[in-house]
């Protein structure tokens, strides 16, 4: 028997094809292709997407003003991320325009447009994320997931898994502590304290020796993904890479 959520999701897919063209969530002009989701082609094109030629902190993916030769890119560090537990983190682009609108939409509907999945796939295929061999979405606390009906990181991970062929493991990591990760007025240290020990690994045997690709929607201070990466490393993960849609 089909679950209610899969029926609702199918109905939603069907309704999507009926409502196009719809108005762009950024500029209000019409969105012609459902592959573009809730944003028009012009706004997608205007959104800052990071490319292989951008110079980044090799570890956390922050844009860097440093100018170095290609072969020294791996040595660039912003130093703010020194204590973070992941190996390296990358985002498709800045938290603005089409990426921001797509993330906000994903909090309401468990659907990711094809254009966004393609951007995530491009990023996953580049160094260093291409070393990962297993996709793990950052889990929500069960209470939060019940409230929302789905975990947006799982939806992103599932679509990336379909396109990349990398296996998806949405069961091995659980969130033990209910933290409000976008609480206003919290500085980096407070965020770090609030998520410390928030995650646990249930099936360490599935994680040991793996290079994990942790998926989330937004990278803000890195506290959440770092805490999750710490749990994975303690369970024997060799590396933990992070892929987010946007970097705030």
CA gap 212, 33 in Å, rounded: 33
Q: Using CA of residue 144, residue 150, residue 153, residue 157, what is the dihedral sign?
A: positive
Nearest-approach distance from CB 214 to Zn ion, in angstroms = 16
- Of 10 and 45, CB closest to Zn ion: 45
- Region binding Zn ion by CB under 5 A among candidate stretches 25-33, 164-172, 193-201, 206-214: 25-33
213 forms bridges with which residues in the sheet?
135, 241
Q: Could you tell me which residues come within 8 angstroms of residue 117 by beta carbon, excluding any fewer than 6 positions away? A: 159, 160, 163
Among 24, 135, 214, 229, the residue binding Zn ion under the rule CB under 5 A is 24
Nearest-approach distance from CB 47 to Zn ion, in angstroms = 10
Among 8, 78, 200, 204, the residue binding Zn ion under the rule CB under 5 A is 78
- Region binding Zn ion by CB under 5 A among candidate stretches 36-44, 123-131, 151-159, 232-240: 36-44
- Of 24 and 132, CB closest to Zn ion: 24
Give yes or no for a contact between 188 and 223, defined as CB atoms under 8 angstroms apart. yes
- Region binding Zn ion by CB under 5 A among candidate stretches 75-83, 86-94, 110-118, 200-208: 75-83
Q: Helix, strand or coil for residue 157?
A: helix
> With binding defined as CB under 5 A, does residue 40 bind Zn ion?
yes
> With binding defined as CB under 5 A, does residue 229 bind Zn ion?
no
Give yes or no for a contact between 241 and 89, defined as CB atoms under 8 angstroms apart. yes
Q: How many residues bind Zn ion (CB under 5 A)?
A: 11
> With binding defined as CB under 5 A, does residue 91 bind Zn ion?
no
Structure tokens at 159: 């679509």
State phi, psi for 187 to the nearest 5 degrees.
-85, 180
CA gap 229, 246 in Å, rounded: 18
- Of 43 and 160, CB closest to Zn ion: 43
Q: Residue numbers of the site for Zn ion (CB under 5 A)? A: 24, 26-27, 40, 43, 57, 59-60, 62, 78, 81
């Amino acid at each position: 028997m089909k679950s209610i959520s899969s029926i609702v999701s199918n109905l939603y897919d069907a309704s999507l094809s009926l409502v196009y063209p719809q108005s762009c969530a950024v500029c209000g002009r019409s969105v012609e292709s459902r592959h573009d989701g809730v944003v028009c082609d012009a706004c997608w094109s205007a959104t800052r997407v990071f490319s292989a030629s951008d110079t980044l902190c090799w570890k956390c993916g922050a844009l860097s003003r440093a100018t170095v030769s290609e072969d020294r890119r791996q040595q660039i560090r912003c130093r703010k991320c020194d204590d973070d537990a992941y190996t390296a983190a990358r985002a498709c682009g800045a938290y603005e325009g089409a990426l921001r609108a797509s993330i906000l939409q994903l909090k309401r509907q468990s659907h990711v447009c094809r254009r966004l999945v393609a951007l995530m796939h491009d990023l996953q295929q580049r160094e260093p994320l291409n070393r990962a061999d297993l996709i793990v979405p950052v889990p929500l606390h069960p209470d939060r997931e019940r409230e929302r009906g789905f975990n947006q990181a799982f939806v992103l991970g599932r679509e990336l898994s379909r396109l990349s062929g990398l296996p998806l493991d949405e069961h091995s990591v659980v969130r033990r502590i209910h933290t409000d990760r976008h609480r206003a007025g919290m500085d980096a240290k407070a965020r770090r304290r609030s998520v410390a020990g928030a995650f646990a690994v249930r099936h360490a045997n599935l994680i040991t020796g793996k290079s994990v690709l942790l998926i989330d929607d937004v990278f803000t201070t890195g506290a959440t993904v770092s805490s999750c990466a710490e749990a994975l490393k303690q369970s024997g993960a060799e590396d933990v890479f992070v892929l987010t849609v946007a970097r705030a």
